[in-house]
Structures are given as structure tokens and as C-alpha cells.
């Protein structure tokens, strides 16, 4: 039943998120044709700064609200949780406005209005999405993702291609998709019934903030891990090469987004399973972790040759230099997913301090390595700094969470997927369509045979039985 619930929830989230994640792949050729590397690079920098400043003003309260909603069973208690969280979010948005506008006018920031609206709408959407998941409106969450994708792609085509708004059009299109999705979910889950001024409770506010405070530096450290390289590269080498980096990381970021779909479902499952008997919980975590790591390596071995074919024929000639760096960022994305998987135990156990400490150490490594590597190695230096820091993060977290739950990962079953992934990385640099197609077929066949083990057969049988029933 545990695996049935996990796979069912993952399937629902995949439907809702795949369209929006796939959208980034579909729009990449459009961006590389209609936007210069300078424009693409500066917009990527602007949007990527949101996760840095957002936690400071929102107090990461949406994560706190989502976790605590699992502790509340009555309509009124959930209303108090949601209303109190919205009040904190409102105060955070007001504080951001008071801080942001004087600063943006002083520095004559040309996207000041567009960025402010983007920021507010982005976090309102996250707020509503967390409530949707917390109330188990997973189907509505999935449908909203599909709607968001169609709106986003339509307005990108209109604003960038037809109206020629360029970089500003990218920001506006994303904002419109945020608003559309927020309104849809607000209506579908009847969110208004959970919002009452009289339900704003000081004790609930304190409880939420107490939980979320360690998450603020944790999220900022995650930002350092994933984004600081862009800013170091921008400082030393300018906007043009930053645009090349944006393309080099676009497809690996797509992989991270897809793996995060599983993390959405896993997060809920991990929270519910944490309260069960220790031995059963540890076994469930161990088996799930082993399979997830194998799956990451297997998917990478398929994505690498597909990416080589895709980039060769669809990426604009001004961005062709990005192709050689993509495997490096795929490995960083894989390590990122593994670290996030281990980090889910901190959320389930409410021991968010561990998440902060481990991420802080790794962010210092990434920052230091970035200033050492990037000035001389440019984009290659960004990738090496990320891989070094994320390897350390994954290792530290593995031993850290073992003190909370005695997980035991079967590393031997990951040897075959790892070797296949390394082979795909080597063949990636062979400019031959037949070679890449053969690599795809080899990966698919090997993975199919590899996953016909007793454990996977058992899980597949459970899913089939559930479907029949």
C-alpha cells in the first residue's frame, strides 16, 4: 500500500508537472533564435535571484504551513494554519515592497515593475500550490500545471515572437501563467473558506516561524550551491558567456525539475511513513532510496545521447559552445537530486537544523571553489565547483540522516547504471547520430533487463493489482 500510494501520487504530479517542465525544452530553440546571449543571460540572472531574496521576506512560511497541515485534521485547525500563514506572507510582501522600490529606482533597474509583479505572483502561486497538496487536491494540482503550460507557451509566442518584447516578454509571460494557475487553484479548492481574519492566531504564527526559521538559511545556501556560479561568471566574464551558461544548464535543470516531481510525492509519503514503526520505516526508506539512485543514473544514460542529438539540430549557432559543458551539469543535477532525497528525512522528522548545517557547509565549498575555478576555467569551473560541493553535500547528508533513521542502501545494485552512465558520457562527445541512437537503444535495453529484479517485479505487481482493483 505504501508503494501504491507513492506511485499513484507520483503519477498525478508527473501529469501536472511534465507539461510545464517539458515546456522549457520546447521554448529553448525559440529563446536561442529570438534572444541574444546577453538578453537571455541577464533574464536568467534576474529570475534566478528570486530564491535568494524570497526566503528572507516570506520566511519560507509556505514550507512550514505544508508540513504542519499534516498535523491538523479538522476544518477549523487547517483554516487557522492557512490564515496565519497568509498573514505572514502578506507582511513579507509588504516588507519587500518597502525595501525593493527605493532600491530599484535608485539603481534605475529597467525591469523594476515587471520583476516586482513576477516576485509577488510567484510566491502566491507557491502558497496556493502547497495548500492544494496539503488538502490532497492532487488532481487539481496536476490540471493546474497543464493549464499553466499552455498559457506560458502561448504568451511567450505572442510577446517574444509577435510583439518582439524580448527579455521583458519572458518575464511577463511567466507572470501571466502564475496568475492564471493561482486563480484556477483558488477556485477549485475553494480556498476562500479557509481564510478568516479571526483565525489569524499568534500561537500558530510562532509555531510556523519556529519551524521555518532554519529553512531560511538552508534555502539561501541551496541558492549558493545552484546559482552563485552564474554571478561569479558574470562578474569575471560578462553577460555573453553567462547566456551560454544558461543554455548549458537548461536541459540539466529540466532533469532536476522532473526528479523534483518524484520528490513532491516522496515528501508526502516520507512524512506519513515517519510515524510508523522504526524498522518498517527504515526498510521503506532504504528500498526507495536504492531504487531512486538507480533510476537517476539510468535516466541520465538515456538523456545524454538524446541531448546531444537535440542540441546539434535545434540550438541556435550562437549557443553551440554550450553543448560541450552539458554532461558536467547533468552530473551536478543528479547529485542535487540525491542530496534532496536524503534531505527529505529532515522534513519528515522536523529536524530542519540538520538541513541547514549540511547545506551551509556545502555552500561554503561551492563559493570557495567558484572563486578558485571560475576566473580561469569559466563555465567548466562553474560545473566543477557544483559537482564538488554537491558530492560533499550528498555524503554528509547520508551519514547525518542515518542517525535519524537507520537506512541501509544497497550500493551494489547501482554499479550497472553507473557504468552505463559513464559510457554515455564518453560517447556524448562523438559527433555521430548512429552512435547516439545506439547508445539510447543500449541504455533502454540494459535498464529494462536491470529492473527485472525481484524487488522491481514486486513493485510492478503491486501497481498492476492496484489498477485491476
pLDDT, tens digit (0-9, with 9 covering 90-100), for 205-264: 999 998 888 778 878 887 887 788 888 998 888 878 888 888 888 888 878 877 776 776
Give 86-129 pLDDT, tens digit per residue.
Answer: 999 999 999 999 999 888 888 777 788 888 999 999 999 999 99
Share of the chain above pLDDT 90, in %: 27
pLDDT number for residue 258: 72
Phi and psi at residue 447, to the nearest 5°: -65, -40
The CA angle 237-240-244, to the nearest 5 degrees, is 100
Could you tell me the end-to-end alpha-carbon distance of the chain, in angstroms, rounded to an integer?
A: 13
Share of the chain above pLDDT 70, in %: 85
pLDDT number for residue 23: 64
Name which residue leads in pLDDT, 467 or 139.
Answer: 139
pLDDT number for residue 279: 62
- Kindly tell me if the per-residue pLDDT of 202 is higher than 90: yes
- Return all residues near 5 (Cβ < 8 A) that are at least 6 apart: 269
- pTM confidence score: 0.71
Mean pLDDT value across residues 136-156: 83
pLDDT number for residue 282: 73
Range picked from 156-160, 167-171, 329-333 for highest mean pLDDT: 329-333
* Cell numbers 537544523: residue: 353
Going from the C-alpha of 465 to that of each of 166, 248, 453, 469, the distances in angstroms are 51, 42, 18, 6
Mean pLDDT across the chain, nearest whole number?
82
- Kindly tell me if the per-residue pLDDT of 343 is higher than 70: yes
- Kindly tell me if the per-residue pLDDT of 3 is higher than 60: no
> Rounded CA gap, 353 and 355, in Å?
5
Weakest-pLDDT range from 1-5, 11-15, 40-44, 104-108: 1-5
Mean pLDDT value across residues 172-194: 92
The answer to whether the Cα torsion of 300, 150, 159, 173 is positive or negative is: negative
Task: Give the number of other Cβ atoms within 10 Å of residue 109's Cβ.
Answer: 16
pLDDT number for residue 463: 42
Contact call for residues 366 and 288 (beta carbons, < 8 A): no
The grid cell for 312 is: 546539434
Weakest-pLDDT range from 91-105, 210-224, 347-361, 444-458: 444-458
- Kindly tell me if the per-residue pLDDT of 45 is higher than 90: no
Q: Which of the four pLDDT bands, split at 50, 70 and 90, describes residue 170?
A: confident
- Return all residues near 126 (Cβ < 8 A) that are at least 6 apart: 62
Contact call for residues 114 and 171 (beta carbons, < 8 A): yes
Name which residue leads in pLDDT, 337 or 458.
Answer: 337
pLDDT number for residue 329: 93
pLDDT number for residue 92: 92
Closest by CA position to 19, among listed 198, 210, 261:
261
| 3-state secondary structure (DSSP) of residue 74 | coil
Amino acid at each position: 500500500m505504501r508503494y501504491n500510494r507513492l506511485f499513484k501520487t507520483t503519477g498525478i504530479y508527473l501529469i501536472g508537472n511534465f507539461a510545464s517542465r517539458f515546456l522549457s525544452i520546447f521554448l529553448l530553440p525559440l529563446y536561442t533564435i529570438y534572444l541574444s546571449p546577453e538578453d537571455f543571460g541577464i533574464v536568467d540572472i534576474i529570475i534566478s535571484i528570486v530564491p535568494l531574496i524570497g526566503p528572507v521576506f516570506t520566511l519560507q512560511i509556505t514550507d512550514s504551513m505544508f508540513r504542519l497541515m499534516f498535523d491538523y485534521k479538522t476544518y477549523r485547525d487547517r483554516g487557522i494554519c492557512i490564515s496565519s500563514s497568509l498573514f505572514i506572507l502578506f507582511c513579507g510582501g509588504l516588507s519587500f515592497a518597502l525595501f525593493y522600490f527605493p532600491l530599484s529606482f535608485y539603481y534605475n533597474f529597467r525591469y523594476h515593475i515587471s520583476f516586482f509583479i513576477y516576485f509577488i505572483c510567484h510566491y502566491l502561486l507557491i502558497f496556493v500550490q502547497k495548500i492544494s497538496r496539503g488538502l490532497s487536491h492532487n488532481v487539481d494540482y496536476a490540471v493546474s500545471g497543464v493549464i499553466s503550460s499552455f498559457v506560458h507557451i502561448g504568451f511567450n509566442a505572442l510577446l517574444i515572437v509577435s510583439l518582439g518584447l524580448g527579455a521583458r516578454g519572458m518575464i511577463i509571460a511567466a507572470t501571466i501563467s502564475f496568475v492564471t494557475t493561482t486563480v484556477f487553484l483558488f477556485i477549485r479548492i475553494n480556498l476562500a473558506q479557509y481564510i478568516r481574519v479571526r483565525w489569524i492566531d499568534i500561537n500558530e504564527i510562532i509555531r510556523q516561524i519556529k519551524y521555518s526559521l532554519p529553512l531560511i538559511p538552508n534555502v539561501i545556501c541551496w541558492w549558493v550551491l545552484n546559482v552563485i556560479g552564474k554571478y561569479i561568471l558574470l562578474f569575471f566574464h560578462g553577460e555573453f558567456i553567462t547566456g551560454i551558461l544558461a543554455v548549458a544548464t537548461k536541459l540539466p535543470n529540466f532533469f532536476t525539475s522532473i526528479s523534483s516531481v518524484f520528490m513532491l510525492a516522496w515528501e508526502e509519503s516520507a512524512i506519513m511513513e515517519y510515524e510508523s514503526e522504526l524498522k518498517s520505516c527504515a526498510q521503506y526508506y532504504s528500498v526507495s532510496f536504492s531504487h531512486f539512485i538507480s533510476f537517476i543514473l539510468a535516466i541520465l544514460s538515456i538523456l545524454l545521447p538524446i541531448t546531444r542529438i537535440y542540441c546539434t539540430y535545434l540550438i541556435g549557432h550562437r549557443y553551440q559552445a554550450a553543448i560541450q559543458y552539458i554532461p558536467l551539469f547533468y552530473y551536478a543535477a543528479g547529485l542535487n537530486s540525491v542530496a534532496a532525497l536524503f534531505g527529505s528525512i529532515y522534513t519528515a522528522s522536523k529536524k530542519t537544523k540538520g538541513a541547514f548545517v549540511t547545506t551551509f557547509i556545502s555552500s561554503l565549498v561551492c563559493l570557495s571553489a567558484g572563486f578558485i575555478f571560475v576566473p580561469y576555467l569559466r563555465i567548466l569551473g562553474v560545473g566543477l565547483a557544483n559537482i564538488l560541493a554537491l558530492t560533499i553535500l550528498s555524503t554528509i547528508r547520508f551519514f547525518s540522516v542515518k542517525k535519524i533513521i537507520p537506512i541501509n542502501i544497497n550500493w551494489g545494485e547501482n554499479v550497472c547504471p553507473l557504468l552505463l552512465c559513464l559510457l554515455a558520457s564518453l560517447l556524448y562527445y562523438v559527433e555521430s547520430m548512429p552512435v547516439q541512437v545506439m547508445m539510447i537503444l543500449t541504455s533502454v535495453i540494459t535498464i529494462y533487463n536491470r529492473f527485472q529484479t525481484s524487488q522491481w517485479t514486486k513493485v510492478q505487481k503491486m501497481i498492476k493489482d492496484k489498477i485491476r482493483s
